[in-house]
């Protein structure tokens, strides 16, 4: 045993001891800050540290067009990286309320470790308008890890067609930046067809035109105000060797639907990225509530979900039954409910709102259309 003191510990053992020490220190610190989580406290000092819930700090807001801007974001240390073309879910506090949206990442991995999203302010868009017009450097955003399979294959095919419309350029610009920033630009023959409402509405206009000028790609720029909407039947004209090119497309649902039909009829390869539109059943008076257990109940627009569910034999958490005690709050995954006290709507959209669900008070909420509750 005395050898132990003279012999150096094996490296693995040292690492093990280090880890044990760190664990001990952490549990001591945890005991010192209970009932808080140590991380809650550390968030006040270093929200981007390793081990923190993923978030990012806006370091730059760069206007692209009158209605769009690029946000450069320094992500937390636990950001695991992304492949160009993927998207990220972003939680933004708008008027004090945390709202989640999904945006394409518009850069490849950058040397400064930052990520970027480019947002177009859509009419009536609460979050997009806030991000484009009212977000300043220093703002903290919640992030989820990058996701999505709209990515270029590796190795790159010899020929490629990219079709984008409007803000559909955002995942594709990430792909292009990544390709063209390499020391050795891959020898691929790329055609980019981009359709925007007008000349002034083209996001990244200078950048894609300069790629074309440098001979990195062939650009077909269409403006709806002069050329009309992109017609898929004109593709053969625009791209004579269409059949040789796998197609990557991103844009409004109408365009993607037409492309899918067109390519399927011709047996051509197509990859698409759909920006999920916010599809809401028109909030009606009453509707159905589906529980995670599989039970579905129906309630009219004047009956609280809690009452209807209990009448149907669902075991519900409940409390004061008048909207005070929060004892009945359950997460709604999808759908809309109406607050019986003031008629206000609360909406949950998968992929848009909190993935864990939007908390609703079942005792004062009636369904407004079909909704599902995690309970």
- Judged by the rule CB under 8 A, the positions of this chain that interact with other proteins are 28, 31-36, 40-41, 43-44, 93, 95-99, 319-320, 322-327, 329, 341-342, 344, 354, 356, 358-359
Q: Could you tell me the smallest distance in angstroms from the CB atom of residue 99 to other proteins?
A: 8
CB closer to other proteins, 259 vs 330: 330
Q: Tokens 């945890």: give the residue.
A: 30
CB closer to other proteins, 188 vs 303: 303
Q: Could you tell me the smallest distance in angstroms from the CB atom of residue 46 to other proteins?
A: 14
CB closer to other proteins, 5 vs 34: 34
- CA-to-CA separations, 364 to 324, 339, 342, in angstroms, rounded: 9, 6, 10
Read off the DSSP letter of residue 2: T
Distance, CA of 228 to CA of 320 (rounded, Å): 59
Distance, CA of 223 to CA of 196 (rounded, Å): 5
The DSSP line for 17-44 is: HHHHHHHHHHHHHHHHHTTS-HHHHHTT
CB closer to other proteins, 47 vs 301: 47
Total residue count of the chain as it appears in this document: 375
> Which three-class secondary structure state does DSSP give residue 240?
coil
Read off the DSSP letter of residue 244: G
The sheet with strand 97-104 has its strands ordered as 97-104, 87-94, 140-143, 55-65, 68-75, 115-120
CB closer to other proteins, 38 vs 312: 38
Q: Tokens 């009536």: give the residue.
A: 124
Instruction: Report residue 348 as tokens.
Output: 């949950």
Q: Could you tell me the smallest distance in angstroms from the CB atom of residue 26 to other proteins?
A: 13
Q: Could you tell me the smallest distance in angstroms from the CB atom of residue 353 to other proteins?
A: 8
Q: Could you tell me the smallest distance in angstroms from the CB atom of residue 352 to other proteins?
A: 12
Q: Could you tell me the smallest distance in angstroms from the CB atom of residue 98 to other proteins?
A: 4
Do 102 and 89 contact (CB within 8 A), yes or no?
A: yes
Find, among 310, 313, 305, 302, the residue nearest to 335 by Cα.
305
CB closer to other proteins, 22 vs 341: 341
Q: Could you tell me the smallest distance in angstroms from the CB atom of residue 61 to other proteins?
A: 18
Find, among 191, 188, 221, the residue nearest to 204 by Cα.
221
CB closer to other proteins, 66 vs 292: 292
Instruction: Report residue 38 as tokens.
Output: 């140590």
Phi–psi pair at 234, nearest 5 degrees: -90, 0
Q: CA geometry: angle at 255 spanning 251 and 261, to 5°?
A: 130
Question: Which helix (H) or strand (E) covers residue 143, if one does?
Answer: strand 140-143
CB closer to other proteins, 91 vs 168: 91
CB closer to other proteins, 220 vs 305: 305
CB closer to other proteins, 38 vs 156: 38
Q: Could you tell me the smallest distance in angstroms from the CB atom of residue 290 to other proteins?
A: 21
Q: Could you tell me the smallest distance in angstroms from the CB atom of residue 103 to other proteins?
A: 19
Phi–psi pair at 174, nearest 5 degrees: -60, -45
Read off the DSSP letter of residue 250: E
Q: Could you tell me the smallest distance in angstroms from the CB atom of residue 36 to other proteins?
A: 8
């Amino acid at each position: 045993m005395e050898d132990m003191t003279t012999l150096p510990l094996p490296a693995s053992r040292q690492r093990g001891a280090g880890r044990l020490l760190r664990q001990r220190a952490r549990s001591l610190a945890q005991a010192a800050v209970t009932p808080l989580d140590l991380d809650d406290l550390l968030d006040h000092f270093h929200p981007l540290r390793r081990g923190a819930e993923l978030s990012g700090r806006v370091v730059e807001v760069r206007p692209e067009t009158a209605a769009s801007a690029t946000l450069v974001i320094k992500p937390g240390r636990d950001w695991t990286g992304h492949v160009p073309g993927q998207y990220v879910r972003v939680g933004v506090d708008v008027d004090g309320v945390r709202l989640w949206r999904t945006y394409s990442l518009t850069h490849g991995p950058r040397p400064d470790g930052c990520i970027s999203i480019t947002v177009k302010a859509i009419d009536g868009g609460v979050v997009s308008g806030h991000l484009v017009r009212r977000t300043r450097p220093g703002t903290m955003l919640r992030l989820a890890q990058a996701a999505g399979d709209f990515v270029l294959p590796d190795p790159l095919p010899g020929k490629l067609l990219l079709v984008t419309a409007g803000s559909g350029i955002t995942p594709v610009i990430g792909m292009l930046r990544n390709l063209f920033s390499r020391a050795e630009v891959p020898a691929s023959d790329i055609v980019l067809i981009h359709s925007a409402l007008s000349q002034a509405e083209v996001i990244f206009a200078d950048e894609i035109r300069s790629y074309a000028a440098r001979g990195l790609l062939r650009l077909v720029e269409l403006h709806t105000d002069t050329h009309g909407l992109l017609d898929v039947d004109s593709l053969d004209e625009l791209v004579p060797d269409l059949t040789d090119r796998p197609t990557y497309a991103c844009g409004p649902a109408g365009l993607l639907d037409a492309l899918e039909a067109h390519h399927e009829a011709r047996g051509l390869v197509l990859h698409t990225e759909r920006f999920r539109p916010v599809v809401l059943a028109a909030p009606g008076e009453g509707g159905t509530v589906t529980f995670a257990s599989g039970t579905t109940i129906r309630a009219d627009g004047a009956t609280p979900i809690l009452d209807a569910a209990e009448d149907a034999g669902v075991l519900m958490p409940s409390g004061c039954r008048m909207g005070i005690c929060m004892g009945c709050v359950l997460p709604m995954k999808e759908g809309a409910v109406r607050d019986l006290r003031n008629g206000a709507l609360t909406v949950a959209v998968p992929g848009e709102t909190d993935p864990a669900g939007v908390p609703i008070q079942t005792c004062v909420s009636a369904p407004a259309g079909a909704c599902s509750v995690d309970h």
